[in-house]
Structures are given as structure tokens and as C-alpha cells.
Amino acid sequence: MTIPHAGLGVVGFTVAFTLIMSDYSSQAQIKPEGFHRIIDGSQVDLYTLKNSNGIEATITNYGGIVVSLKVPDRNGKLGDVVLGYDTLNDYIGSTPYFGALIGRYGNRIAKGRFTIAGVEYQLAQNDDSNALHGGRKGFDKVVWQAEKVGSSEGPALKLTYTSKDGEEDYPGTLRCTVIYTLTNKNELKIEYFAETDKPTFVNLTNHSYFNLKDGGASDILGHELMIRASKFTPVDKGLIPTGQLKPVAGTPFDFNKPTAIGARVENEDEQLKFGEGYDQNWVLDRQGKDLELVASVYEPSSGRFMEVLTTQPGLQFYSGNTLDGTNQGKGGTVYQHRAGFCLEAQHFPDSPNHPDFPTTELKPGEKYTQTTVYRFTAK
């Protein structure tokens, strides 16, 4: 089937396409050989997806990491909008989850404990006294089996991984599939699927850090963020939800109207102090269970505009608070404080210990699914 060329928002397609292609050829490329190696007996590589409009994503099957994502600005000039590294070695070293798939459980679980089917489980406490992002060796640090697949929407990469019963102390063998599709509508679409043979908890997400201006060379405080949410889940000092659903009205957490990330991030607010900035979960105002637009970000100088659509009930917004200049990324760029932001679509943190939160329990015979889309235009 012939796929029609998608437009680029306000940027006219013919002009934008010409500019994209001419600019693309002059950009330095991440070298695939920097990712070609064997880890734990499995082959790691770098895979490139390029849609009919010339935008490009590179993804490695180590951790399912989105290494680069090049999208056009208002003049059609391609630019990388995610933080990351030039080589696999840097990802294996110290990294704040740049671009990675997160599992089995994205975000925090209090004291690394939960009870399921009457049995208490103790997980590794890798974030002070809490469990974070799946443990010491979460899905961000394993090798996924990779296969490039055809799709009517655009080029796609299918990743599969089987997490054995007891891995990182989680119950049940969990068979996972994640499909990245770079659609011809200029979207990075991420579909997640999982099945288990024992009751377990699952909360999968992606931890890409975005900077729509310059890929992390400067801060993201001027980016204008919108989140469709009338409540958020306040946290304690350990960033564990209190269980309350607090209205955002009248607080620095109200992003129902597009607001610069830096406008209130330094306000005298207990929740901002706990997170050293934004690092909370927003309770999305959803109309159903299907894919819905829940957030957007506009960067004024480049004109890049990113929309987030998801099937999930929550969105963790993190404003890059712990970036401090110690991470030297692609092209030698040093990522300073708040050089990137994350919008992680997921279930709420610590849901296994909050029965009033939407459940993250997965039982044998059930199928876990979630879809999140990052859509790019320019204006």
C-alpha cells in the first residue's frame, strides 16, 4: 500500500521537506559501530528508523533506548530533540535513564515492598529506601531481541524480552513486547504489551529527556508546557505518594494553560522542594481508555511543538532537576541543570501500596497494553 506523505503542521511540506533533506546530509551521525557489541551473550546494535518526511530516530536494543530523534523546526531544519550519548559504553556507565524503557515497574515503590496474592515481596532498594524503575538491573539495562518490521503507519522496530520469575525479586515470568513506530504523521509511537504466568505488578514507560530547542545545550525553562490534569499526587520527602489526589488549581502544578516550565519552578512550595523542582505524577483528565491528547510542549525560538497522547491514567513530569553538568552527551554537549524534561506516561507511583489508585496488577490470562505517542509539528 502506498503511504501518502504527511504534512508538517504549519511548515509547508514541499519547502520543509527540501530543507530537511539538505540539512540532514550535513549533520554529524551517531556511528552504529559505537553500539555493536555482545552483552550477556546477546548482540547489541543501533537501529535507524526514517519516515517518509525525512525525520529519523535511532534506537538501541540495549535497554530499548531512544538514542536520537531528529525533527524539524519551523524552518524545516532537523535537530535532535532527545538527550543521550554517542556510544553504548556511556549508557552502560552512569546514566539517568536517558531514553530508556523502564520496567518492570516505572517510578517508585515505597520501601521496595508490596503484597500480592497474600505474599509479601521485598525488592531491591535502589533509591534510598525505595525501589525505583525496576531495580538495580531493570529493563533499561537488559538486551532486548530486536526486529525491524513493516507497518502501514511507518517504519517500526519490535523489541521483545522475557523477564524470568524472580528477576529483581518480582513474581512471575513476564513476556514483554515493545514496538517503536516512527509514523508518517511525524509521531514516535510506543506500544507496550506484556503477559505473565503469576500475579505480578507491571508499569512500563519510556524515560526520554526532551529539549526541543537544541537537544540539551541549554535549559528547558522557556519551554511552554500544557498538561490536561485537574489533580496530581503529592509526595513525601522520599517522593512517595501520600495517597491524596490534590487539586492543581492555585498551585505551581496547574499547567492546564500553556505555561513556561521555569515560570514557577523556584516557587516556595513544599512539593517543589521535595523534588528539587517538578518530579510529580499528574492525574490526567481522561474521557475514556482510548488514546487521548494529554499534554503538549512548545519551544518558542525553534517553533517545535510536541504533543503527548496516551492510554495511561498518569503522567510523570520531571524537569531535569538532578542534571548537573557531570553527563557529557552527544557531540560533547555537557548537560547542565534542567537541560531536559521527561513526560513519562504511566500508572501512578507506588500503586501496589495504594488500593485506591488505578491497579497495576497483572494476572495470568490477562494482557497488559499501553500506548503513548509523541507527535511533532512546528509553528
The catalytic residue positions are 207, 344
Per-residue cell: 356: 485506591
d(CA 220, CA 44): 32
DSSP string across 146-166: EEEE--SSS-EEEEEEEEPTT
Per-residue cell: 364: 495470568
Kindly provide the b/e burial profile for residues 139-149, where b requires at least 16 CB atoms within 10 angstroms of the residue's own CB: bbbbbbebeee
User: Which position has the grid cell 515503590?
Assistant: 109
Q: Among the residues of the chain, which ranges form H helices?
A: 13-24, 88-92, 270-275
Residue 234: count other Cβ atoms within 10 Å of its Cβ. 18
d(CA 215, CA 70): 9
39's CB contacts (< 8 A; 6+ apart) are 62, 92, 143
User: Which position has the grid cell 513474581?
Assistant: 171
Nearest to 95 by CA among 60, 145, 71: 60
Phi first, then psi: give them for residue 68, nearest 5 degrees.
-150, 155
Q: Among the residues of 248-309, which ranges form H helices?
A: 270-275
